[in-house]
Amino acid sequence: MSRILLIEDEIVIRAELRRLLSRHGHAVVEAGSIAEAEAGHDLSAFDLVLADVRLPGAPGTELVGRCGSAPVVLMTSYATVKAAVEAVKRGAADYLSKPFDHDELVALVEHHLASARSARGALPEVAPHVPSSAAPPQSVPPPQSVPPPQSVPPPQSVPPAPDDDELEGMVGGSAAMREVFAQVRKVAPSEATLLVVGEGGTGKETLSRAVHRLSPRRQQPFVLVQCAAIPDAQIEGELFGYEAGAAAGALTARAGLCEAAEGGTLLLDEIGELPMKVQARLLRFLQTGEVRRVGSTRARRADVRLIAATHRDLGAMVREGSFRSDLYFRLRVLEIRLPPLRERPGDAVRIAESLLKRRTRMGQAPLALSAEARAAIAAAAWPGNVRELENAVHRAVVLAGGSAIERAHLGLDDPPRPSPSAPPAPQREATPPSDSLEGYFRRFVLEHQDELTETEIARRLGISRKALWERRQRLGIPRPRS
């Protein structure tokens, strides 16, 4: 059992995180601020410290250097990513961008606990951690003319090993995924811009992280920007930074996320959501390797590898005029297409089993799938892809209560939840058992929506209003009628 100090001022979120970490066998000590934590505890007496960046009093980034050998993991919203990245450069172990999910948080915590244990000389329990010392930054390739679009060359020159059914957290033994793995290995060492395309939940972000981890930039920051979650009016400043006075409210100059990713990799998720004006600025950045803050005439060199991801058909968007063709061609210098889960025979069961094995590695009692459950997983269409499968397995683990997972636990016969495009359900849904951070999102919104404005709820959750709206749609949580 590890001792974890959790510093989060939002009580609902803190309680949910405490439950989550306790369920995974950790002893959790809570505080609402650094001052409160320091008043009651010796900060260096913990095995890991998990803290929000935005806290009353001092920000979570100030924990760096004050927690002895305990890794400090920061939780950040898009507005504070830069501060978190800076903190990682100064010695924080890692940061997690909100919204994150259950698995991501637990995996990250276990990873850093294991690293700290092995650094102290104990036997590591999971794969060793990549050390965080700085590698020399890669140089920016000189500006070039637009290269012709090319998809990743066929993988013959880097054949996957015959038993290679996992790569950097991505599980897949189907021919389609083995080809994707070979492509990932091939593109990772390159400096070229990469476009990752696939339906929602197919693993675009996971693949992008794998590319970063396998690249020479692995010890530099990986910065994820959810383009859909940032209001149009702010995205230009968030990405490229701004000078003081460049816009209403811009009282001081601020670096953008492109600069925060210096030396590392910048993932622009849902690139199809970028407004035209920002597309133009991004194109200039790709052409010149330079960033110009909004309101500034000075360009700064930026050594950043760009990965763009989307579930949309950018080619069709180009044809209908909502996406710039020159940017499209520049983005897809290299392109990897992730197939939907239904086109990866055998992988749904492999992924489900790997999730169960991961629990066991983390000290939970072993759980197996019954023959019917396996058959049902193999036969299901999984329109929400790996994310939907993960949710089904997490829910099944809770419902199975320690026995084998049966078909009924998977909830495959439940009525489908509203799709993102469907109108909101007229009634509030009953709150399902929470086995994921989506659970706390749902409860938080339902508990607070009568007394808080949408802006306030979004702020407290660390997401944009737009992201709040989208999640309400996705999870079927309609706004109350006023």
Residues forming the site for ligand ATP (CB under 6 A): 101, 103-104, 170-172, 198, 200-206, 269, 311, 351, 386-387, 390
Please name which of 80, 28, 34 lies closest in space to residue 54, comparing C-alpha atoms: 80
Question: In angstroms, what is the minimal distance from the CB of 314 to ligand ATP?
Answer: 14
Closest CB to ligand ATP among residues 202, 279: 202
| CA–CA distance, 215 with 303 (Å, rounded to integer) | 14
Closest CB to ligand ATP among residues 77, 202: 202
Question: In angstroms, what is the minimal distance from the CB of 344 to ligand ATP?
Answer: 8
Task: Mention every residue, 6+ apart, whose C-beta is less than 8 A from residue 25.
Answer: 1, 362, 363, 364
- Please identify which residue in the block is written with the tokens 């409160």: 36
Question: In angstroms, what is the minimal distance from the CB of 367 to ligand ATP?
Answer: 17
Closest CB to ligand ATP among residues 221, 340: 340
- Tell me the residue ranges of DSSP E strands in 253-403: 265-269, 290-292, 299-301, 305-310, 334-337
Question: In angstroms, what is the minimal distance from the CB of 22 to ligand ATP?
Answer: 21
- Please identify which residue in the block is written with the tokens 């990799």: 265
Question: In angstroms, what is the minimal distance from the CB of 355 to ligand ATP?
Answer: 8
Question: In angstroms, what is the minimal distance from the CB of 246 to ligand ATP?
Answer: 30
| CA–CA distance, 407 with 375 (Å, rounded to integer) | 8
Task: Determine the residue type at 226.
Answer: Q
Peptide bond into 275 cis (omega under 30): no
Closest CB to ligand ATP among residues 117, 474: 474
Closest CB to ligand ATP among residues 49, 386: 386
Cβ atoms within 10 Å of 128's Cβ, excluding its own = 11
Question: In angstroms, what is the minimal distance from the CB of 134 to ligand ATP?
Answer: 27
Closest CB to ligand ATP among residues 101, 164: 101
Q: How far is CA 183 from the centre of its chain?
A: 21
Please name which of 248, 259, 204, 209 lies closest in space to residue 228, comparing C-alpha atoms: 204
Residue nearest to ligand ATP (CB): 203
Q: What share of the chain is helix, strand, coil (3-state, %, to 5)?
A: 45, 15, 45
Task: Determine the residue type at 390.
Answer: E
Closest CB to ligand ATP among residues 49, 266: 266
Identify the helix (H) or strand (E) that includes residue 475: helix 465-475
